[in-house]
Amino acid sequence: MPIKHRVQRKSLKTSHTVSSPLVTPQAHQSGVLQKLLQEDPTYDYDLIVIGGGSGGLSCAQEAAALGRRVMVLDLVVPSPQGTSWGVAGTCVNVGCVPKKLMHQAALLGQALTDSRKFGWECSQQVKHNWETMTEAIQKHVGSLNRSYQRALREKAVAYVNSYGEFVEHHKIKATNGKGQETYYTAAKFVIATGERPRYLGIQGDKEYCITSDDFFSLPYCPGATLVVGASSVALECAGFLAGLGLEVTVMVSSQLLRGFDQEMAEKVASSMQQLGVRFLRKFVPVEVQQLEKGSPGKLKVVAKSTEGTEIIEGLYNTVLLAIGRDSCTKKIGLEKIGVKVNEKTGKIPVNDVEQSSVPYVYAVGDVVEGQPELTPVAVQAGRLLARRLFGGRLEKCDYINAPTVVFTPLEYGCCGYAEEKAVEVYRKENLEVRRCDCGMFRPSLLIHGSGDRISRPWTEGRRDHPRICSRHEMWAHEAAAGRHHWDPPHVCTGVHHPGDHEVIGAGHHAEGLLRLSRCCRFPCPAPVSVKTACSRVSPGTASGQGGGTAAVPSTRLADGEGQPRCVLDVLARSRQVSQD
């Protein structure tokens, strides 16, 4: 029988007897009294977090910092292709981090090619080595895994590499990779199990296709690739594969970038087509056959039209599925304790304090119904949840207006409603759609010519509706900063994605957002800090070195009457520019 893991409690010492009148004030000031009142000796832990991703780890570490007894249960079930990874979840292992590094690799290739026009003499033709790139990326990911494990140890968080499943109220079964079972109890639980890629459910998909779980550690060059799907993951992967010089086809069943502004989505697709990406619209795969084994092998894909009976076939070396993700909530015993789950999506409905239908069970991250599936959102939600549960704080996570970026060759950043959603929410008669040219210097014009000028449109509420829904973008390789919907009560707080420490080269975004700020003249009750949603990964990150920008506090200015004004603080690398 495996030994049950418990946290050793530290003894609480005092120099006074119980009868002393000084015990209570001193205990209150030192925090000992609060700890004694909150600590429940009937459970092994004060908090057990199921899932070792960004949201779960932030919650666990914050709770431990507040003196709680905390455990994290985390075991990654291998993909059908056998891929698994360490602590830190999707973002670090098979999401944001490797994605941005591959995107940067593609941009570097284009920069090397363009450098000749700026006088650089390259004696040899530029070539790319897939194995070298993936090896560097996986080394960096491994260093991040180790840093997370070290942080958990330093904060006395018990990390158990086991799969968690509820067996009864306040009790959970932990099963490790060898099938050994151990039981733990806790006063409170946080579900942070995240999501995994969805499969098509057709012949040959799990046998011969890969997903983003496998893609970033693929040990060989994928060759001619079919990307199935129109999500941000699909277009991002297709974009940097094309940037690395590979033949890429994207098969789309309906619309591109569902949930994003469709005008901008089509501009992204148009820029990808100019790079040689082929789009097959209104088709879905119905069968995948293996013709030849190898690394890569050769696959035949049979697809059917979504609008008729047309059948097409194609030959590819690799098929990458990016058709969406499913929440990991089906096999963790939620039904045994009565936690309500959306049967269609697998997501957990929660209230405004991340509490599920069972009072002692909470959820953060991608498993939460109706909230942005972004790493900084999960981190913020997890941290604030721990502070409310164990620190006496009341602050709630603001899920409104979290900026995000699609790392396609023409980078697309956005914040707030798409134009279609703004029309749905506020009605067309209450909106004005405007467009203007960014008018900023772009070095790529020296190389690629004048090209097509892409306007910067935005959607704005009328005078009596103090809201702005804006979007704007620039040429490829100089990034795109997207549309913004601002609402005075909500613009002043929120989550920033991606984090400033992850990006550099944000000058164009800074200028675009500062120009946008001139349109913003409404009373604002608190500071505003909108970080740039740019996409240049620091070259130092692949080798484990630091890079990027540092966070800068927002600024609060007041007009002559003392009323705070909206201030847009945009941070570019090595400089801060502000426009009041």
All domains of the chain, ordered by start, with CATH?
28-75+161-197+326-390 (3.50.50.60), 205-323 (3.50.50.60), 404-579 (no CATH)
Crossing angle of helices 262-274 and 419-426, in 10° steps, is: 170
Span 368-373, average pLDDT:
94
Reported as a pLDDT band with limits 50, 70 and 90, residue 225 is very high
Cβ–Cβ < 8 Å for 148, 87? yes
The model's pLDDT over 428-473, given as tens digits with 9 standing for 90+, comes to: 888 877 766 555 555 555 555 544 545 445 555 554 544 555 443 4
Tokens at 272, concatenated: 């990808």
Per-residue CA distances from 257 to 69, 74, 235, 260 (Å): 42, 31, 8, 6
Residue 213 one-letter amino acid: D
DSSP symbols for 168-195: ETTEEEEEETT--EEEEEEEEEEE---E
Q: What percent of the chain has pLDDT over 90?
A: 58
Per-residue CA distances from 558 to 183, 384, 467, 516, 524 (Å): 57, 29, 20, 20, 10
Exposed, middle or buried, 271 (CB in 10 Å: 0-12/13-18/19+)?
buried
Span 59-79, average pLDDT:
97
d(CA 268, CA 69): 48
d(CA 502, CA 75): 27
Span 35-57, average pLDDT:
85
d(CA 365, CA 260): 20
Q: What are phi and psi of 2, to 5 degrees?
A: -65, 150
Nearest to 215 by CA among 95, 374, 375, 53: 95
Residue 59 host element (H or E): helix 54-65
The model's pLDDT over 120-152, given as tens digits with 9 standing for 90+, comes to: 988 778 889 999 999 999 999 999 999 999 999
What's the pLDDT at 555?
30
Per-residue CA distances from 208 to 196, 242, 323 (Å): 17, 22, 16
What's the pLDDT at 163?
97
The model's pLDDT over 375-386, given as tens digits with 9 standing for 90+, comes to: 999 999 999 999
What's the pLDDT at 126?
83
SS3 breakdown of the chain: % helix, strand, coil, rounded to 5?
Answer: 30, 25, 45
Cβ–Cβ < 8 Å for 325, 197? yes
The model's pLDDT over 518-527, given as tens digits with 9 standing for 90+, comes to: 334 333 333 2
Q: What percent of the chain has pLDDT over 70?
A: 68
Cβ–Cβ < 8 Å for 316, 336? no
Reported as a pLDDT band with limits 50, 70 and 90, residue 41 is confident
Q: Taking the alpha carbons of 508, 511, 512, 513 in that order, is the dihedral positive or negative?
A: positive
Tokens at 46, concatenated: 């004060």
Tokens at 332, concatenated: 């963790």
What's the pLDDT at 217?
96
Exposed, middle or buried, 216 (CB in 10 Å: 0-12/13-18/19+)?
buried
Residues 6+ apart with CB under 8 A from 37: none
d(CA 101, CA 98): 5
d(CA 327, CA 325): 7
Per-residue CA distances from 29 to 22, 25, 71 (Å): 11, 6, 27
Q: Among 59-73, 172-186, 222-236, 464-478, where is mean pLDDT lowest?
A: 464-478
Cβ–Cβ < 8 Å for 504, 558? no
d(CA 315, CA 48): 48
Span 180-192, average pLDDT:
98
d(CA 329, CA 334): 7
Tokens at 536, concatenated: 């240049």
Distance from the Cα of residue 434 to its chain's centroid: 30
In this predicted structure, the answer to whether residue 206 has a pLDDT above a threshold of 70 is yes
In terms of phi and psi (left: phi > 0; alpha: psi -120 to 50; beta: otherwise), the region of 140 is alpha
Tokens 């009864």 belong to which residue? 168
In this predicted structure, the answer to whether residue 336 has a pLDDT above a threshold of 50 is yes
d(CA 211, CA 209): 7
What's the pLDDT at 103?
96
DSSP symbols for 424-463: HHH-GGGEEEEEEE-----TTHHHH-S-PPPEEEEEEE-T
Tokens at 371, concatenated: 């909230």
In this predicted structure, the answer to whether residue 69 has a pLDDT above a threshold of 60 is yes
d(CA 364, CA 362): 7
Residue 359 host element (H or E): none
Reported as a pLDDT band with limits 50, 70 and 90, residue 569 is very low
Span 404-428, average pLDDT:
86
What's the pLDDT at 232?
95
What's the pLDDT at 400?
79
In terms of average pLDDT, the best of 57-66, 403-412, 456-465 is 57-66
Span 263-277, average pLDDT:
93
Residue 525 one-letter amino acid: P
d(CA 160, CA 14): 34
Cβ–Cβ < 8 Å for 323, 251? no
